[in-house]
Amino acid sequence: MIHLDTSFLIRALVSGAPQEKRLLGWLDAGDAVAVCSPVWAEFLCGPVSDDVAELARTLLGPPVSLGRAEAERAAALFNAGGRRRGSLIDCLIAATAIEAGARLATTNARDFERFRSAGLDLAS
């Protein structure tokens, strides 16, 4: 399973982008690809047309919901990371991928490197 973060999702929906090629490759290979609900919310907050949002819905299905395990892991990541202002969303995204046993595809690897020691696997 592969989870996409917001930056990857946005770029994957641009025709000809390297992220689009990777996403299509994973889908063609039969890999399960998803986003978590914080990514979906961030994505919809940006300037996104109804057509592009519908394309994402069709490709990815419903977002992975946050449950108790994800929330608790996100809080642990946030607290272990020094409670950095503005980092909770990254903690939620990382926690959801860790709990799902998914690799995380991102264009901002630097933002997520710190979660590797907690079990996050970044897609390469």
Q: How far is CA 32 from the centre of its chain?
A: 13
Q: Residue 124, class by beta-carbon neighbours within 10 Å (0-12 exposed, 13-18 middle, 19+ buried)?
A: exposed
Give ∠ CA 73-64-23 in degrees, rounded to 5.
110
Stretch 65-77: mean pLDDT, rounded?
Answer: 97
**Amino acid 81: pLDDT:** 86
Confidence of residue 82 (pLDDT cuts 50, 70, 90): confident
The model's pLDDT over 7-62, given as tens digits with 9 standing for 90+, comes to 999 999 999 999 999 999 999 999 999 999 999 999 999 899 999 999 999 999 99
Domains of the chain by start residue, with CATH:
2-122 (3.40.50.1010)
